[in-house]
């Protein structure tokens, strides 16, 4: 759908003085603060804040197995004693060993179903909980599981949880810095920290026997990453972490979100997409002038200068990547502007 700004029924003619730094006289066509003319070669993908009548159809790669509607979740076997639970929006795991169950993340969206899912395969108690990171949407159900499980997390996650003081997210009782191997009965989970790829404390959780890796909020199999590279605090760190995931010898990737398991092909696709956005944003930053067509009356408005510039950079970035990616990733049109804004900012300041 071509995005266009509808002209106002009554144009407001305003005479503006020439500026020493802006040589072009600009006739305002809308009241201050209202949308004006689109940029030259405005992207077909609507910008942030504009409601679409219909989003792009999802490609097949963004679709996963259906849920059991009666249960409200899907249980998928990942190998001996290891299972994924998903509502096709969030994903978590649990590992069954000889005398208990290790739960990995407790999403709030289906916390009431986790014990039900575990009961499908075992009557053993929950003895451990592993936190992938501190965000409440992934672990905010931990307080509802009951009992007194050992809770394991990276030290940054504990720091953030102490700050948040949220009773729904009990504090970890076993904390590590760089790596921890959890051995329970005959089962093993390797936990490791690779830096701030999403937020401090976000870890890799690897089951070597089952060749399953869980890393949350970094790779989105078949989908566009969530906005601004999944709200990454450190975009270069995020890019590096996607590559680090590709270096792990997994066959199944649990990403914490979306509709299906991931593969190395999914990780490589995300690396390719990331690099395309980076190249497009870098090209736009290099080729566009800081001030081009801005109303001379806004010369003293520093934020207007940078806001207009970064909007033009993001628009060129969106145009550059849209032909290749619009039909390859689910939700492309939802968050591509976010990715381009995040990338141009990272390239300017990181």
135 neighbors 199 (Cβ within 8 angstroms): yes
Quick one: pLDDT band at residue 30, thresholds 50, 70, 90? confident
Q: Is the pLDDT of residue 17 over 80?
A: no
Q: Are strands 126-130 and 100-104 parallel, antiparallel or unpaired?
A: parallel
122 neighbors 96 (Cβ within 8 angstroms): yes
Residues of the chain with CATH 3.60.15.10: 64-259
Instruction: Return the higher-pLDDT residue of 148 and 10.
Output: 148
- Tens digits of residue pLDDT in 266-320: 999 999 999 999 999 999 999 999 999 899 999 999 999 999 999 999 999 999 9
3-state SS class at 46: coil
Q: Is the pLDDT of residue 23 over 70?
A: no
- What mean pLDDT comes out for the span 49-76? 96
- Predicted local confidence at residue 175, as pLDDT: 98
Quick one: pLDDT band at residue 4, thresholds 50, 70, 90? very low
- Predicted local confidence at residue 3, as pLDDT: 44
Q: What's the per-residue H, E or C state across 39-83?
A: CCCCCCCCCCCCCCCCCCCCCHHHCCCCCECCCCEEEEEEECCEE
Question: Which tokens is 96 given?
Answer: 């069954």
Distance CA 154, CA 135 (A): 13
Q: How many residues does the chain have?
A: 350
Distance CA 94, CA 102 (A): 5
Q: Is the pLDDT of residue 232 over 70?
A: yes
Q: How far is CA 330 from CA 79, 229, 242, in A?
A: 28, 14, 18
- Least confident segment among 31-35, 150-154, 177-181, 233-237: 31-35
pTM value is 0.90
Q: Is the pLDDT of residue 27 over 60?
A: no
How many CB atoms lie under 10 A from the CB of residue 14? 13
- Predicted local confidence at residue 36, as pLDDT: 84
44 neighbors 56 (Cβ within 8 angstroms): no
Question: Which tokens is 35 given?
Answer: 């949308």
Quick one: pLDDT band at residue 167, thresholds 50, 70, 90? very high
- What mean pLDDT comes out for the span 146-167? 97
Q: Is the pLDDT of residue 236 over 70?
A: yes
Percent of the chain having pLDDT more than 70?
A: 92
- Predicted local confidence at residue 29, as pLDDT: 66
Q: Which residues are within 8 A (CB) of 175 and not within 5 positions of it... i.e. 6 or more apart?
A: 152, 153, 154, 155, 158
Quick one: pLDDT band at residue 231, thresholds 50, 70, 90? very high
Q: How far is CA 271 from CA 123, 132, 178, 275, 319, in A?
A: 41, 22, 24, 6, 19
139 neighbors 106 (Cβ within 8 angstroms): yes
Orientation angle between helical segments 302-325 and 264-287, nearest 10 degrees = 140
Could you say which of 2.130.10.10, 3.60.15.10, 3.40.50.1820, 3.60.21.10 is the CATH number of the domain covering 64-259? 3.60.15.10
């Amino acid at each position: 759908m071509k995005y266009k700004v509808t002209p106002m029924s009554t144009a407001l003619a305003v005479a503006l003085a020439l500026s020493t730094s802006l040589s072009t006289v600009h006739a305002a066509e809308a009241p201050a603060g209202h949308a004006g003319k689109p940029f030259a070669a405005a992207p077909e993908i609507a910008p942030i804040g504009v409601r679409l009548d219909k989003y792009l159809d999802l490609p097949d790669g963004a679709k996963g197995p259906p849920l059991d509607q009666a249960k409200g979740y899907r249980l998928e076997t990942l190998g001996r004693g290891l299972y994924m639970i998903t509502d096709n929006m969030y994903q978590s795991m649990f590992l069954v060993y000889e005398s208990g169950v290790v739960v990995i993340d407790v999403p709030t969206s289906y916390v009431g179903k986790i014990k039900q899912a575990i009961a499908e395969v075992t009557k053993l108690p929950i003895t451990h909980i592993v936190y992938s990171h501190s965000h409440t949407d992934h672990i905010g159900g931990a307080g509802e599981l009951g009992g007194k499980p050992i809770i394991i997390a990276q030290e940054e996650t504990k720091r953030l949880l102490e700050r948040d003081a949220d009773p729904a997210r009990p504090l970890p009782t076993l904390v590590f810095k760089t790596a921890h191997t959890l051995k329970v009965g005959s089962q093993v989970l390797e936990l490791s920290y690779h830096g701030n790829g999403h937020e401090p404390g976000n870890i890799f959780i690897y089951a070597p026997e089952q060749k399953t890796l869980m890393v949350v909020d970094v790779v989105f199999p078949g989908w566009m990453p969530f906005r601004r590279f999944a709200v990454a605090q450190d975009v270069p760190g995020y890019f590096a972490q996607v590559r680090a995931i590709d270096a792990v010898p997994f066959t199944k990737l649990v990403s914490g979100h979306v509709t299906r398991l991931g593969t190395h092909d999914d990780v490589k696709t995300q690396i390719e997409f990331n690099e395309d956005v980076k190249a497009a944003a870098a090209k736009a930053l290099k080729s566009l002038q800081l001030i081009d067509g801005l109303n001379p009356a806004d010369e003293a408005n520093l934020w207007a200068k940078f806001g207009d510039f970064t909007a033009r950079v993001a628009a060129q970035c969106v145009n550059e990547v849209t032909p290749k990616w619009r039909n390859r990733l689910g939700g492309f049109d939802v968050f591509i502007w976010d990715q381009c804004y995040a990338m141009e900012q990272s390239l300017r300041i990181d």
